Amino acid sequence: MASKTAQKRLTKEFMTMQREPPPFVWAVPDEKNILTWNYLIRGPPDSSYAGGEYYGVLLFPAEYPFKPPGIKMYTPSGRFQPDKKICFSMSDFHPGTWNPAWSVATILTGLLSFMLSDEMTTGSVNSSDTHKRTLASKSHSFNVSQARFREAFPDVSRCSLGTNDIPSLIVLIG
């Protein structure tokens, strides 16, 4: 159960993300538990992930924003092991480097940046750009086969997204 501080902060962050979504990332809290957020990262153009969509969850502790979230990605990406916690500076693997001023938008922007790097860590895998591009082309089909994804992003689940559909995606889930 979320503390009052976590509840208030996460509600505020959700409203902010709806008004001002950062590039290539979207997130919505689970309807039954505000401590679990579903996120969607679109692969930026000019990257090995172009045209891909990557679904995962942020698992916030009741003490958020004073403790960092756990982070998982479910969609095969060639960068992270599906359904395994990802270790990076903004995750619960590194509570000592956590900054309570960071937000959901900051965390997801950081995750996208980390995804675009080649740094190896717990939860990451090494694969070729060709493999990443192949997985990107299959990502939407994979996501819509997942009940959790369809529940979190029903409008996205009903459409077929192309590389240039990012503004449409904002409208669909915003």
Residue 23 has a pLDDT of 96
Residue 22, number of CB atoms within 10 A of its CB = 15
Q: Determine the average pLDDT of the residues in 124-153.
A: 96
87 is catalytic: yes
Share of the chain above pLDDT 90, in %: 87
Nearest alpha-carbon partner for 136 in 57, 71, 55, 26: 55
* 25 SS3 class: strand
| Ranges 57-61, 69-73, 160-164, 170-174: which has the least confidence | 170-174
Q: Is residue 164 predicted with pLDDT exceeding 80?
A: no
Nearest alpha-carbon partner for 1 in 87, 80, 60: 60
Mean confidence (pLDDT) of the chain:
91
Q: Determine the average pLDDT of the residues in 116-123.
A: 94
Residue with the bigger pLDDT between 173 and 48: it is 48
Torsions phi, psi for 122 (to 5 deg): -60, 130
Residue from 28, 50, 87, 172 carrying the catalytic annotation: 87
The CATH number of the domain covering residues in 4-171: 3.10.110.10
pLDDT digits (tens, 9 = 90+) for 89-100: 999 999 999 999
Q: What angle do CA 73, 78, 81 make, to 5 degrees?
A: 40
pLDDT digits (tens, 9 = 90+) for 6-37: 999 999 999 999 999 999 999 999 999 999 99
| Ranges 56-70, 121-135, 151-165: which has the least confidence | 151-165
Task: Record the tokens describing residue 47, joined without a space.
Answer: 């990257």
Q: Is residue 170 predicted with pLDDT exceeding 60?
A: no
What's the pLDDT band for 155 if we cut at 50, 70, 90? confident
Q: What angle do CA 127, 103, 100 make, to 5 degrees?
A: 110
